[in-house]
Amino acid sequence: MQALDLGLVAGEDIDSFWRRVAATCADWLAGHGLPARDAVLLLPFAQQIAPARRAWLAHGGWQPRITTSRSLASTLGPTALASPEQLSGDTAIDAFTADRLLLADQSWIQPLKRSSPRDYRVALARLVDTAQALARAAAQVPPDTRAGFLDAARQRLAALDAGPGLLERALAQVALAWVAADDRRPATDALFALRPSAWIWLRAGGPDPLAQALLAGDTPALCLSADLDLDRAWAGFTPAARVEEAVAPDFETLAEQATTAVVQHLNAGRRPVALLAQDRIVIRRVRALLARQSDGSGTPGR
């Protein structure tokens, strides 16, 4: 597999970026004597297919098959339906299956189910999440190495047979056995049987184990990396504003620090103040603290 870094181009808009992708792919295919019409260009997201096709149309010549790995797999054959005891991919259905079929006869989980139904539901959710994650991971490896992948997972769990986390290990073992007992072939297996003239993968947003496995085969392959090295991306950049960082040891301190910062900005005459957070609970707590600072008019800091 050959790898090329697309890098950053100053002043480049999105259409120019896709034209550069099309030109790079076309030049690589022509340089290796590979017919573009029989090649496959894998994109990270389905929303990128339309702009990529427009760029190839503007470039001219034959287009490769431009798609995502999941979309391509779905066109190569239907996905087998799950039987009542198999993973369906639907969280609610899989939780019901795990509760009624997998854990009903497990004596080690029954005390938790009787003493704390809430904790049992949390354990059930973790079991389903683990099983679905394992199934996705198993579908991303070649069919001939899948058994080895599952064996390696069993060995890792066996190596953790002592110490804390007994419940988590037991749930993981049930999840692994659930996945291993499924005799259906994942839809992605059809991708490994496909023989295009070349695989081209546009990497953006991090690694894709399935694409990496496809490109690791005998078919000519090119990886175009559009991922940004954050250290390089900000090299030579001088921020227009002063950035401060505060480290809070707990939730309440975080809310108090955010409230103090908002009030300081308002008192300095900087309005409006935008408060961004990933946790809605923190936002609600900050709003409550700001309300205490209000003079009754609803405006904090006056």
Each residue's pLDDT tens digit, 164-205: 788 899 999 999 999 999 999 999 999 999 999 999 999 998
- Choose the weakest-confidence range: 9-13, 45-49, 93-97, 123-127: 9-13
- Per-residue pLDDT, averaged over 77-103, amounts to 90
> What whole-number distance in Å separates Cα of residue 176 and Cα of residue 219?
32
- Looking up tokens 């190596």 gives 159
Q: Which one, of 42, 38, 35, 37, lies nearest residue 1 by Cα?
A: 42
> How many whole angstroms separate alpha carbon 214 and alpha carbon 207?
13
Could you tell me if 205 and 227 are in contact, meaning their C-beta atoms sit under 8 angstroms apart? yes
For the chain, list the domains and their CATH numbers. Answer: 2-76+187-233 (3.40.50.300), 91-180 (no CATH), 240-302 (no CATH)
Q: How much is the mean pLDDT over the chain?
A: 90
CA separation for the pair 86, 214 (Å, rounded): 27
**In whole angstroms, how far apart are CA 94 and each of 74, 105, 124, 138, 260?**
22, 17, 9, 18, 46
Closest among 58, 67, 80 to 39, alpha carbons compared: 67
Q: Report pLDDT for 277.
A: 80
Q: What mean pLDDT do residues 138-158 have?
A: 94
How many angstroms separate the CA atoms of 268 and 274, rounded?
15
Per-residue pLDDT tens over the stretch 241-296? 777 888 888 889 999 999 999 999 999 998 999 888 888 888 899 999 999 877 55
Instruction: Using DSSP, state whether 222 is helix, strand or coil.
Output: strand
According to the model, what pLDDT value does residue 9 have?
81
Task: Give the pair of three-digit tokens for residue 125.
Answer: 């959710």
Rounded to an integer, the average pLDDT of 41-50 is: 96
When comparing pLDDT for 125 and 229, which is higher? Answer: 125
